[in-house]
Amino acid sequence: MDLDMGDAIVEPEEVAPERIRTLRRTEFEVLVNAGAFEEERLELLAGHLVTMSAQTAEHAQLAARLNEVFVKGVPADYIVRPQLPFALSHDSEPAPDLAICPRTAFHDGHPAAAVLVVEIAAATGTLDRGLKLRLYADEDIPEYWVIDAKTLAIEVHREARRGRYQTVTRIDRRTRIEPLAFPGLVICLGELVRRP
């Protein structure tokens, strides 16, 4: 007898954790190169495929303006990577809104180190303030910004140690900030993106 399971959902408590097999980054890249996800925007986070959210006009405008500022302002031995894969660890390949990477940090086509990672989040930003925050801290990314797409407020996370950021500063759209790696590169989101 055939059973139609439809769109059955496996609840996490139904499968013993030791029986769940996550993807490694190298496996994910093989699948991507084979065209397995051509119609999808995905990130690999802690071995799991996670769909990327659609971008609002506010998000896209902010990402484009920040990209411009960083491309013009960082030294030539760094590269600004907007919304491109980042080889964070053996089981994570996020595509942050911006990552500023040393040109010497490339491994197998993607950079494996960054001095600054920026994520532009919706008001809740659960993924950016939760799992991604932990993953970036675990890999000692020295500075991580989570920008609220609507208010332009920034949560600045610095001093990664033992999988946690030791300092978190919240600044509003009118406050100027300099990335740790680029003193003198002053950014004020309220001046960069004019909004009512």
Place of tokens 């006009």: 57
- Tell me the pLDDT tens digit for each residue of 62-93: 999 999 999 999 999 999 999 999 999 999 99
CB 154 within 8 A of CB 189: yes
d(CA 129, CA 115): 18
d(CA 144, CA 168): 10
Query: Does this model's pTM top 0.75?
Result: yes
- Our separate counts of H helices and E strands in the chain read 5, 10
d(CA 90, CA 11): 26
Q: Is the domain defined by 55-192 classed in CATH 3.90.1570.10?
A: yes
Residue 106: pLDDT band with limits 50, 70, 90: confident
Return the domain boundaries, the chain: 12-50, 55-192
